[in-house]
A and B are shown apart, each in its own frame.
Chain A
């Protein structure tokens, strides 16, 4: 009886410690949100106070100033097309590398995995030469191709590890039934890869959605994504905190919603992705 009450009071203490730590973690969001509703002079007076009125004027102005609907759609288009392309090319490549481990394919796997250690900065300057040479700059297919190139190593590696555990018997049965190699992959194997496809998609969405440097180098103004728009906005309106905070809140909302909706998958995916990567 005594031990039980002692453990439960210890648990209560831990619970309190956890809640306090969580409040500390949420602190920055408090500042972000309350100040997006305040007038500039109130922010300058006291950045920690609650707003007097919860007016959405700042949001309306920031919405227009960063051209939110346009940059949001740009981010959605670039991210979704790149992620879909990555899923297609990396799953197909991984399948082939697992099922036909020829000398060439084994070497290819090694090279792709080794390439994961190359930092972006070590590729970016010659890449600018390449992107202008092949006329990839300022084009949607250009940035998609870039993400395919940079993303294939990790995505293919994740698929590779997963496909190794997919039994061959199912495919053999399908071949006997007269299914073509492509049909076998898309109709039989690919659906079995769903768990790892979810992981690959989530990891790539978070990466591409938040990416700043690659788009800066290869896209034009018409395709400006959220991080670029925010960066440009800060360059122009430094210290116009009321608009800046509203713009930051707006820009943060989509990815936070994405996280809260897919939380379970994201956390599982990260565990799977990091253990293998």
Chain B
């Protein structure tokens, strides 16, 4: 009994120590990286929001209270232009991307011989970075479209695509859709394949036409995929940066400047890090709001289904 106790105590201690060591080894490295790179800077952001801070002297921020916030809310038309641009862009890009992706997925779940090749082609633009795609399309809008316009006489190709705010807006939408539709298509295809064949067959035997099958059976059954795609496209479109920088650089004027680009320029071009951080925090709250709304909708749908 006595000897058992004296042996048991160090053993328990050793087990305890081993648990601690394991926790440190398994969790430690990732946790440290996460804390240093994400958690601390994010926390610091709340402080820098209320300071005057510039890039030349990163260690020296001066507390200015609500100055930055007031300035953004009352005296920063360029930021609000960027905000509305981003909102409109997100709406257009999400709609067009998902409609096209859904149509492509319907096409590629038919019994086509070229299915595999087509899937590869539609997905291809997605693996190339937004910055490179932006430059490729810059050339196409500036030189390529003109050449097609001359050859065919079609007015669509003769526009100064990057020269007016309206067309620059749709120019970015086109490239965004081209880049993202293939990705969403893959998700839709996976969902459509997962729909039980006999359900569709039963509806067909009951005399439902194609449109009715699509609307009343297919769409409700792939709702989770639709939610995922809407969420991914919304979040990507709202945070767009690379493509914006390389394709239009925010131009003409500042008409096509996204929020992400506006924040970047406020800090790295105008050298106002404090103001940039304040905008970035506002940006965070917008993104969080969109995400939380989206998750809330998903959960609601899942309960209904």
Contact = CB atoms under 8 A, between A and B. Distances in A.
A255 to B, nearest CB: 5
Contact of B34 (A130, A152, A263): A152
Given A127-B37, A213-B264, A25 B129 contact: no
In the complex, which of the residues A88, A118, A213, A245 has the most CB atoms of chain B within 10 Å of its own CB atom? A118
A11 interface: yes
Contacts, number: 263
Interface residues of A, number: 92
Q: Main SS of the interface on chain B?
A: helix
Contact of A18 (B107, B143, B178, B246): B107
A149 B124 contact: no
Interface in A31-60: 31-32, 35, 43-44, 46-49
A248 B144 CA distance: 15
Interface residues of B, number: 90
Q: Is the interface of A mostly helix, strand, loop or mixed?
A: helix
B22 A96 contact: yes
Contact of A130 (B36, B125, B128): B36
A251 interface: yes
A228 to B, nearest CB: 9
Contact of A92 (B29, B118, B130): B29
Interface stretch (B73-81, B91-99, B212-220, B280-288): B280-288
A146 interface: yes
A35 B44 contact: no
A150 B38 CA distance: 7
Interface of A: 11, 14-15, 17-19, 21-22, 25-29, 31-32, 35, 43-44, 46-49, 88-90, 92-93, 95-97, 100, 105, 108, 111-112, 115, 117-130, 132-134, 145-146, 148-150, 152-153, 156, 181-182, 185, 206, 209-213, 227, 230-231, 234, 241, 244-245, 248, 251-252, 255-256, 258-260, 263, 266-267, 270-271, 274-275
Interface of B: 18-19, 22-23, 25-27, 29-31, 33-42, 44-45, 48, 55, 58-59, 104, 107-108, 110-114, 117-125, 127-133, 135-137, 139-140, 143-144, 146-148, 150-151, 178, 182-183, 186-187, 190, 228, 232, 239, 241-242, 245-246, 259-260, 263-264, 267, 273, 276-277, 280-281, 283-284, 287-288, 291
Given A31-B140, A115-B34, A124-B280, 4 more contacts: A32-B139, A127-B41, A145-B36, A206-B127
